[in-house]
Structure formats: structure tokens, C-alpha cells
Structure 1
Amino acid sequence: MARTMEDQTVEQLGGPSSVLARQRRDHAEMDRLMDRYGTLADGEERERVLVEVVQLVFSHAFAEETVLWPVVRRSVADGEDLTSRVEEEHQQINDLVADIEPLSPGSPEREEKVERVFALIRQDIRDEEDLLLPRLQGALDAVRLRRLGTAWEAVRRSAPTHPHPIVPRRPPGNALLAVPLSLYDRIREGVGLSFPSAAAKRVLAGLVGLLVSGAIAAMVRQRR
């Protein structure tokens, strides 16, 4: 019987470089940051922690959707249903974070949406660790899990770190848009605009608009 990731040793997960161990480390860090957010009184520190949560969640999810879920769909009998469930959770998180960005820090509406996002993230973690990832563990040996972990980590480190409504949830669309949107996010963060105003978003969007257009054109050509 498949076992949850939560109560297995690192060796049982395939070693520290296994995709299962890497996933669990990220999930633990998400939990730590969300718990910390709830204990803080200082507004600036709360915002910093919230940005860390968002950056980790979106890069983590992007790598899952680009590298991991296609393998689940190929290797697990009910992989389509399992990944569709998680992708729906990812989309809900994406939409809520996009709603949060223009709201004033500390406002009741914003805090309510942050609480909803955190609840969805925790539900997503449980669905992955208790349902989806144990099924993948049963389908792949430790060597393949480690190789998959290396590929997943490489994508995670260069993935977009904020919500983008134009990003498809599945390859090849998400992979083709990764570079321009990752650039967009890092420009935002580099100038201190992790949660930019609408005007700032328009300016930054213009800087990478041509790259996004090129990626979309490449995706269209690939489908022909």
C-alpha cells in the first residue's frame, strides 16, 4: 500500500536528491513560512515573508507541471485524474494571489485572501504527499526518482515566481513561456516590485512583451 511522504525517511524516498525528498523539503519550507507569517506583527516583515511564500510556491508548482506531472500521467494508471486535481488547486492559488497583489497590505480583504491561499497551499501539499507522490514512488525506482529530481530542481531554479494568467498548466505552452516570464518576475523583484501597482506592471510588461510574443509564436509553430 502506498505510504504518505510525510512519515518516510529520506532513504525511503530515494535519497536527498530524489524528487520526492526535494518536494518534501519545499513543502516543509512552505509550511514554515506560512506559520511565520501568522506570528509576525511588523507589516514589512510580513510582506517579506509573504513574498517568499509566493516565490517558492510558484516556482515549485511550475517545475511540477513542466517536469513531474507529465511523468505521473505516463507512469501511473490514474495519473490524469490525480494531476488534474492538483492543477486545479494550482490555478485557484494563481487566481487568488493575482487578486491579492493590488490590495493594500494589512487590509481585511487582503488578509482574508491570504488565509484562503494558505489553506489551499496546505491542501495541495497533502494531496501531493498523501495521494499523488506515493503513486509515483510505486511506479519509479530510486535511480529514476533521483534523475527526475535533478531535472525538477533545474526547472524550479529558473521558473516564474509570480502568478501569470496567460501561462498554460501543461507543456509545451508553460515551458515555452518560462524564460520570458521568469525574466519579467526577476525584473520586478530586482527593482523591489514583488507586488507592483497596475502602472508598474504595464511598464514591466512592455519590457518583456516581445519575448512573450516570440514564445507564443514558437508554440504555435511547434503545434503545426
Structure 2
Amino acid sequence: MMKLLCGGTLILTLALSYYVYMPLPATVSEPWKLVLVGAAFRTATHLADVSHSLGLAHHIRVLSLLVASFERLVPAEFEDVQTEDTEFDGVQVRVYTPQHRDGTLRRAVVFIHGGGWALGAPKLGSYDVLCRKMAVKLNAVVVTVDYRMAPDVRFPVQYEECVQAARHFLQRDVLARYSVDPDRVAVCGDSAGGNLAAAVAQQVNFNLYFPY
């Protein structure tokens, strides 16, 4: 019985090690954190695929739920930032404003999250921490766009909502409300959000110089 238990434990340990293993460059700091995150995401993907195959739920919806649950575990930072959940031209956004004021107009950043236009929780966890850090480090008003995602909507809705939110924010009265310098507004994003940010910058620029 003991031999059987030891053998089973060894097999499970080897299987778990194989599942978790991820080849990484030697220069990566804290590799185990990256390995565990990778294993967690693979597990979430497998659970989503099984749910989809059984007809229980769309695999993207399951992944979104798991991602949001994971992000809720990330502790909040930089409490000296005021947040406001509102709408810009019907698009859900969150505005981060640093508490420190020196009487001058601030710079601003419109941030668009990644996730393949299907995943991401911009108001939770790592994205929330990132926007708070940007607001404090840059002394800037940061607007994160909570655009609707697949499978609820299809292209080009994600792009259109980012353009709508950016155009609304760039109105003179809106910038004045948040004490933002109109000449110091940037747009950025990560992964698929970077793609959207580039498209938004081109479209907004085009419409500013060539109105129709």
C-alpha cells in the first residue's frame, strides 16, 4: 500500500511539473511567478474549452469570468488617486485624478487595455494598479476606456467606442473640467490596446485637421 501511494505521488508530481514547466531565459527575474501565472492561464483556457464543448457557456465568457476573478486578487495601490466611473459619449470609462494639485494644467493619458478585444478587466487588478501608477508618477489625468468586447459585440464596435470616448474627452469643456492641458494629451495601450490606440490616434488626428 505504501509503495502504491509513493508511486502515485511520484507520478502526480512529475505530471504537475511537466504541466507547470515553461522554458524561460536565465535573465528573467522571479521566474516562478511567471511560471505559475502561465500555468494558471493554461488551466483557465482548458476549463473554458471544456465548458464550451459541453455547451455550458461560450469559452470567451468563461475566460472573462476567470480573468476577472484573478484580477480581484491583486491588491490596490496608490490610494491617493481619486477615481470616477462615468460615460464619455455613451462609453464606459474610469477617470483617475491625482489628489495633488499645484494650480497648473495637467497632462492626460487615454489608456486602452489589451486582451484581443475579448478579454480584460480595465477597472480591476493589474490594470487598475497601472492606471493609478501612471496618474501619480506622471501627475496626469488617466482615462481608461471600458469598451465592450466579444462575444457581446463584433468588430468594429471596440474601435468605434474607443474613438467616441477619445473625441469626447478632447472637447475643450471636458478637458477644462479635469484641468487638462489640450496640448499634452496622449493615447496608449498594451497588446491589442496598442493597436486600438494607434488607430484612435490616426482617426482623431485626421478628423481634427480634415473635418467633414
TM-score (norm 1): 0.23
Tell me which protein shows more strand as a share of its residues: 2
Larger-Rg structure? 2
